[in-house]
Amino acid sequence: MTATFAAPPDEARPAPPVDWSVAAAPVGYPEAVAVMETRVAAIAGGTEPEAVWLLEHPPLYTAGTSADASDLLHADRFPVYRTGRGGQYTYHGPGQRVAYVMLDLGRRGPDLRKYVRGLEEWIIRSLAAFGVAGERRDGLVGVWVATPAGYEKIAAIGIRVRRWVSFHGIAVNVDPDLDHFAGIVPCGVRGAGVTSLRALGVEATMQEVDAVLREVFEAEFGPTLTPSAAP
């Protein structure tokens, strides 16, 4: 008699490493969204592994699904893109590390609150490696830092999920031109400032930030692999 054994459920199988890519040059926003859309469909269809894509954008504003038109203070300053991610208005530009995170939450656990907490923890632990104490604030998304001027935002989070695959992700202010945020009310929070590692006195290169982000990501979400090509 030959025994047969059923394959273990998907959640019991070790996941393949997450593709980890870093764009060599700034990426336009429509191009980035198109790449994410394609990769998310492939992940949902089981033909491509999960992915994290690190990049910088040229200066621009994005409007999330909750964006209030009154929070766009200077509509002609930079291009403005409507996007399907959650949240309100956000600035992206040189000196800011954007990480687009495409993970199979159906396999990892379909819990959006837990996923956002994981993204926050990823940022907080990465900032701690540079001696910066990032914090959560009740009722507000993102990561904040206590400064003499009050709490200021150092990292934004905005996600979208399709077929339980995440996309969009996080944006960490390494050394952007903080004046560029003046064209919007960042994330709809009036009276709150924005800051960066450089503004806090941290002289970190983007490559140093990337290395820490990868190390902490692997501790939080699992192993990564550098693929032969970007997403």
Mean pLDDT of 17-25: 97
CA 59 to chain centroid = 17
**Domain locations in the chain?**
18-225
Side-chain half-sphere of 231: how many Cα atoms within 13 Å?
33
187 is catalytic: yes
Tell me the CATH number of domain 18-225, given options 3.30.930.10, 3.40.50.150, 3.20.20.150, 3.30.1950.10: 3.30.930.10
Strands (DSSP E) contained in the chain are 18-22, 51-55, 60-63, 80-82, 89-92, 96-102, 134-137, 140-147, 150-162, 165-173, 193-194, 224-225
Question: Contact 192/152 with Cβ under 8 angstroms?
Answer: yes
Mean pLDDT of 150-155: 96
Q: Is the pLDDT of residue 198 over 50?
A: yes
What is the torsional sign of CA 84, 152, 26, 166? negative
pLDDT number for residue 5:
28
DSSP letter for 158, please: E
Question: Contact 174/103 with Cβ under 8 angstroms?
Answer: no
| pLDDT tens digits, 156-188 | 999 999 999 999 999 999 999 999 999 998 876
Instruction: Tell me how far apart the alpha carbons of residues 98 and 96 are, in angstroms, rounded to a whole number.
Output: 6
| pLDDT tens digits, 180-195 | 999 998 876 777 889 9
- Residue 116, C-beta contacts closer than 8 angstroms, at least 6 positions apart: 141, 157, 159
- pTM summary value: 0.91
Which of the following is catalytic: 187, 197, 209, 213?
187
DSSP letter for 153, please: E
| pLDDT tens digits, 37-91 | 999 999 999 999 999 999 999 999 999 888 899 999 999 999 999 998 878 899 9
- Residue 88, C-beta contacts closer than 8 angstroms, at least 6 positions apart: 63, 64, 66, 67, 68, 71, 185, 187, 188
Task: State how far the alpha carbon of 144 is from the alpha carbons of 147, 160, 230, in Å.
Answer: 9, 22, 31
Q: Is the pLDDT of residue 98 over 50?
A: yes
Write down the mean pLDDT value for the chain. Answer: 91
